[in-house]
Amino acid sequence: MAEPLVLALDTSTTVAVGLARGGEVLGTAGVADRRAHVEQLTPLVQRCLADAGLRPADVDQLVVGLGPGPFTGLRVGIVTAQVLASALRRPWRGVCSLDVLARQHVLEHRDADDVGRAFVVATDARRREVYWARYDADGTRVEGPRVSAPGEVPRLPVVGPAADLYPDLLDGVLGPRTLDAGVLAAHGPDLPDAGREPLYLRRPDAAEPTRRKSVLLPRGPR
């Protein structure tokens, strides 16, 4: 029996699509523009499948990164995964996007001198904050995900895109800086299940006010 074909999507930072069968990556596609989630994701899925000589109906399972990340970007990726899974009648599962970067780090540096060290994965949360999680040397998440100022991140080696954004505050080391959707497709089915809800970690910028402001002038004394 053939290994299942897995389609992976992540829009927590960039727009990334991956395709894998078993542990073999069959294709990846991505766009670095963080503002192009809506326009680029579906064409990337179509291109990734076409380049591998496959059709959407060939997909057996979908895996999507749940973040943490910005509200709009995450919503696009998750909704797209839900729509595809419903249309194709295929199962889908969500994983923490930071776990994917952690798996990349372990795979890329399994023979490095510092392979036995715990580490942190950190991504840009804007507002001079970072999303982060702490991992054992084998890539098991032991804390997080959280959002905080860079100075509040544990003093451990840091990988992920935020490592280069705050070099004076984070101990950046050699490691992945962008999420590899091929790794998400190949290893996503084995990563911890993060449920199906996006990991926003904080309210969207356009939050609804908790109290309506009155436009009426206060009454004076009668």
Which pLDDT tens digit goes with each residue over 4-19?
999 999 999 999 999 9
Task: State the pLDDT at residue 112.
Answer: 60
Task: State the pLDDT at residue 32.
Answer: 83
Q: Do 196 and 94 touch, CB atoms closer than 8 A?
A: yes
Q: In which element (H, E) is residue 129 found? A: strand 129-135
Q: How far apart are the first and last CA of the chain?
A: 86
Task: State the pLDDT at residue 33.
Answer: 75
d(CA 18, CA 55): 14
Q: Give the amino acid at 22.
A: G
Q: Which residues pair with 148 in a beta bridge?
A: 130
Which ranges of the chain would DSSP assign to H, the alpha helix?
A: 37-51, 71-88, 97-108, 162-165, 181-187
Task: State the pLDDT at residue 210.
Answer: 44
Q: Which comes out higher in pLDDT, residue 49 or 32?
A: 49
d(CA 25, CA 7): 10
Tokens of 80: 């797209």
Q: In which element (H, E) is residue 207 found? A: none
Q: Which residues pair with 189 in a beta bridge?
A: none
Q: Mean pLDDT across the chain, nearest whole number? A: 89
Task: State the pLDDT at residue 203.
Answer: 61
pTM of the predicted model, to two decimals?
A: 0.89
Question: Is pLDDT above 70 for 216?
Answer: no
- What's the DSSP call for residue 181? H
Range from 63-77, 80-94, 129-143, 196-210 carrying the lowest mean pLDDT: 196-210
Q: Cα–chain-centroid distance for residue 174?
A: 20
- What's the DSSP call for residue 217? P
Task: State the pLDDT at residue 220.
Answer: 53
Question: Is pLDDT above 80 for 173?
Answer: yes
Which residue, 12, 21, 7, is CA-closest to 122? 12
Task: State the pLDDT at residue 2.
Answer: 81
Task: State the pLDDT at residue 139.
Answer: 96
pLDDT tier, 58 (very low <50, low <70, confident <90, very high otherwise): very high
d(CA 28, CA 117): 30
Question: Is pLDDT above 50 for 185?
Answer: yes
Q: Which comes out higher in pLDDT, residue 222 or 107?
A: 107
